[in-house]
Amino acid sequence: MSLDDAAEDLASSLGVDKAEVKEDLEKLVSYSVPMDEAKQSLRRKYGDEGSTGGGADDAPTTDIEEITTDDDRVTVTARVLTVGKRSIRYDGDDQTIFEGELADGTGRISYTAWTDFSLTPGDTVTVGNAGVREWDGNPELNLGQSTTVTLEEEPLSVPYDVGGQRNLIDLEPGDRGRTVEVRVLEVEQKTIDGRDGETEILDGVFGDETSRLPFTDWDPHDAIEAGTSVRLEDVYVDEFRGVPSVNVTAFTTVEAIPEVAVSDEATAMSVQEAVDAGGVYDVELTGNIIEVRDGSGLIQRCPECGRVVQNDQCRSHGKVDPEDDLRVKAILDDGTDSVTVILGRELTEEVYGGTLTDALEAARDEMDRGVVADDIAETLAGREYRVRGSLSVDEYGANLDATDFEESGGDPASRAERFLAEVGR
């Protein structure tokens, strides 16, 4: 139903002005409120209290597997797998919503509950008259004002884990209501311009035996300190340039626990696997450097923002007095795909075999800043390297910010063997 049709419908059933209803509806929808909820919210606003949204009692009882995005409303009996609590804002008000997954013997489905039905992981419930909406091509359940939730005494057996406990390696963008046990590897306090003005947050990195992931704590918890280990109940996962990121909120329970072991090793992958994953925070790739790109060697940065500048002009700060730096942008190819590897000053100095001062001296002697990049290209091109770092993917391609970069001894055959051994363990 189009917004215009919905406004027409509402206006006639409520006996109010269509233009007014349409304006309200547009506003709610622009805040990502699903159409069903928006309509119910307006029914409440215009005094049709207790409305069920129409056709409430005849929503068909369905197996989860059978639900499609063509369904309008359904009734399901299911086990609550996870419950995550989150605060969103629309129309100037903060609202607490609940998100997670439900499952029966045939499948599982994500849900969003707009009111508190006291859903608890492990409970078996019959959800009556839930709205169905599409998210990312898949159906999702929408539990709103006209939905009923009845607790069943007989627990439903489902072929899925109940509860949100996961290892870091298994977290995916979109996950809600997850529980993790991690060590805080890095943390720093930041001030951001949030929806309520200046807000303090924590940014850092968590680790466990399986992986490392960046996190943001939107409601700084004292227990989240570098070196401490914590159990975090009810975190959600989003992504930045394809890399999953853990979000800690005011609803997250944070509890100190005995030290969590953290793996020193990054996950070894082929370039194609890592790029297909959409990004990996801590990955090890092995391949040949086939090209050193422009923008390598001696570069200049804006002293204010660190952006690379040319002819003393920063995109944000205009004419600046730039600072010299060293960097490498090189294309690494392992036969499955290629990625741009970025080395910061320290790793570039190692590859160059000299310091920034040495590089500036060489450039002065030759009266050409390009000699440094030429020198680096001569060292790298055609050789095989093992590189560890964070791989992100955006519309311009895949980049790997390197933390380790070393020549790998092996010939291609032994590299393949090593790789197979690693993925096969």
Q: How many residues bind Zn ion (CB under 5 A)?
A: 6
Please give the Cα distance from 415 to 135 (Å, whole number).
41
Kindly tell me which of 213 and 302 has the beta carbon lying closer to Zn ion.
Answer: 302
CB atoms within 10 A of CB 320: 18
Please give the Cα distance from 83 to 178 (Å, whole number).
8
Q: Please name the residues in contact with 203: beta carbons below 8 A apart, sequence gap of 6 or more.
A: 187, 188, 190, 214, 215, 216, 217
Question: Smallest distance from the beta carbon of 67 to Zn ion, in angstroms?
Answer: 51
Question: Smallest distance from the beta carbon of 316 to Zn ion, in angstroms?
Answer: 4
Q: Which stretch binds Zn ion (CB under 5 A): 138-146, 157-165, 174-182, 304-312?
A: 304-312
List the x/- string, 310-349, binding to Zn ion by CB under 5 A: ----x-xx--------------------------------
Among 170, 304, 346, 368, binds Zn ion (CB under 5 A): 304
Residue carrying structure tokens 């903060």: 94
- Give percent helix, percent strand, percent coil of the chain, each to the nearest 5: 20, 45, 35
Question: Smallest distance from the beta carbon of 312 to Zn ion, in angstroms?
Answer: 11
State which H helix or E strand residue 45 sits in: helix 35-45
Kindly tell me which of 319 and 364 has the beta carbon lying closer to Zn ion.
Answer: 319
> Closest Cα partner for 234 from 204, 207, 255, 265?
255
Among 1, 3, 261, 305, binds Zn ion (CB under 5 A): 305
> Closest Cα partner for 177 from 125, 113, 258?
113
DSSP state string for 387-401: EEEEEEEETTEEEEE
Q: Which stretch binds Zn ion (CB under 5 A): 245-253, 298-306, 393-401, 402-410?
A: 298-306
Please give the Cα distance from 259 to 7 (Å, whole number).
57
Reported residue count of the chain is 425
What token pair was written down for 52? Answer: 């069920």
Question: Smallest distance from the beta carbon of 151 to Zn ion, in angstroms?
Answer: 58
**Rounded to 5 degrees, what are φ and ψ at 350?**
-65, -45
Q: Which residue is nearest to Zn ion (CB)?
A: 302
Kindly tell me which of 259 and 321 has the beta carbon lying closer to Zn ion.
Answer: 321
Question: Smallest distance from the beta carbon of 295 to Zn ion, in angstroms?
Answer: 16
Kindly tell me which of 1 and 305 has the beta carbon lying closer to Zn ion.
Answer: 305
Among 21, 298, 302, 328, binds Zn ion (CB under 5 A): 302
Question: Smallest distance from the beta carbon of 314 to Zn ion, in angstroms?
Answer: 3
Question: Smallest distance from the beta carbon of 299 to Zn ion, in angstroms?
Answer: 14
Kindly list the residues in this chain that would bind Zn ion in the complex (CB under 5 A). 302, 304-305, 314, 316-317
